[in-house]
């Protein structure tokens, strides 16, 4: 059995999402780079592994979580949850944030020039995200559902054009890292989403929305990187794909 220090960060969060807040406190990436072990991360960041491990155990032993047990979700149910919760969130909030950021640049850009870079980074992020969602909705998610149906009916399926399911997964994981890097820069430029003293209400609301957007994105990427993608690979291993 693996020792706790050999567990990956993603495995901890998949076990109990409450640990995500703990990792966020120490600026430990649990979504894009969740495949690193606790020991590796702590050594790289100069953190006390035993202390972090004790804090993790405290969270895990603090009674039942009100969070959904996403690991127990079927691949199809998890896909539907991601679509209805996270994809819809991105599509709803993105145009609002683009509008607010443009407004902030016009009104406050002379005193806070960093707003122009924040706005530009979010525009890049938004464009990349919309392409990313399309890849999931058109390529990977339908194939996962096809595999699920084939296994249920004891059928076979033709090999897809992308070969093994691990190929689109690798592409999507790369997208996640890009988004993570963009938002790390946005977080830094916004002083971790703390508005300046002279901020108006729109300024405050925009920063709060950006913070919420990043948090939603982290959970979205965690559900895929640390749970759904593993389930997809396991599905593919259950039957022989015909050429």
Domain membership flag for residue 113 = yes
Residues 132 and 81 in one domain: yes
Residues 52 and 79 in one domain: no
Which residues, at least 6 apart from 172, have a Cβ–Cβ distance to it below 8 Å?
A: 132, 135, 136, 140, 224, 229
Spatial separation of the C-alpha atoms in residues 145 and 22, rounded to whole Å: 34
Residues 84 and 159 in one domain: yes
Weakest-pLDDT range from 1-10, 71-80, 87-96, 123-132: 1-10
Spatial separation of the C-alpha atoms in residues 28 and 218, rounded to whole Å: 12
Residues 196 and 102 in one domain: yes
Q: What is the model's pLDDT at position 2?
A: 42
Domain membership flag for residue 242 = no
Residue 3: pLDDT band (50, 70, 90) is very low
pLDDT tens per residue across span 153-172: 888 888 888 989 999 999 99
Residues 101 and 41 in one domain: no
Tell whether the model's pLDDT for residue 57 goes beyond 50: yes
pLDDT tens per residue across span 63-73: 766 678 899 99
45 versus 217: the higher-pLDDT residue is 217
Q: What is the number of structural domains in the chain? A: 2
Region of 2 (left: φ > 0; alpha: ψ -120 to 50; beta: rest) is beta
Domain membership flag for residue 144 = yes
Residues 75 and 28 in one domain: no
Residues 133 and 200 in one domain: yes
Domain membership flag for residue 65 = no
Closest to 91 measured CA to CA, from 38, 55, 131: 131
Residues 51 and 97 in one domain: no
Residue 1: pLDDT band (50, 70, 90) is very low
The range of the structural domain enclosing residue 35 comes to 4-60
Weakest-pLDDT range from 151-160, 188-197, 204-213: 151-160
Residues 18 and 77 in one domain: no
Domain membership flag for residue 36 = yes
Q: What is the mean pLDDT of residues 209-224?
A: 95
Q: What is the mean pLDDT of residues 28-48?
A: 85
Residues 161 and 191 in one domain: yes
């Amino acid at each position: 059995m693996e020792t706790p220090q050999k567990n990956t960060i993603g495995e901890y969060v998949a076990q109990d999402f409450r640990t995500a807040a703990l990792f966020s406190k120490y600026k430990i990436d649990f979504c894009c780079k969740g495949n690193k072990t606790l020991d590796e991360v702590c050594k790289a960041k100069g953190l006390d592994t035993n202390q972090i491990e004790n804090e993790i155990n405290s969270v895990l032993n603090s009674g039942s979580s009100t969070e959904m047990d996403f690991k127990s979700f079927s691949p199809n149910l998890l896909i539907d949850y991601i679509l209805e919760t996270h994809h819809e969130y991105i599509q709803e909030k993105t145009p609002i944030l683009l509008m607010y950021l443009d407004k902030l640049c016009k009104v406050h850009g002379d005193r806070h020039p960093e707003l122009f870079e924040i706005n530009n980074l979010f525009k890049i992020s938004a464009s990349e995200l919309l392409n990313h969602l399309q890849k999931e909705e058109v390529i990977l998610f339908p194939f996962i559902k096809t595999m699920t149906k084939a296994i249920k009916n004891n059928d076979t399926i033709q090999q897809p054009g992308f070969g093994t399911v691990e190929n689109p997964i690798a592409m999507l994981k790369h997208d996640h890292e890009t988004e993570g890097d963009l938002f790390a820069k946005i977080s830094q430029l916004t002083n971790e989403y703390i508005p300046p003293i002279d901020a108006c209400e729109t300024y405050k609301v925009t920063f709060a929305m950006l913070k919420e957007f990043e948090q939603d994105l982290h959970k979205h990427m965690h559900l895929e990187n640390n749970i759904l993608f593993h389930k997809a690979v396991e599905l593919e291993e259950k039957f022989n794909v015909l050429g």
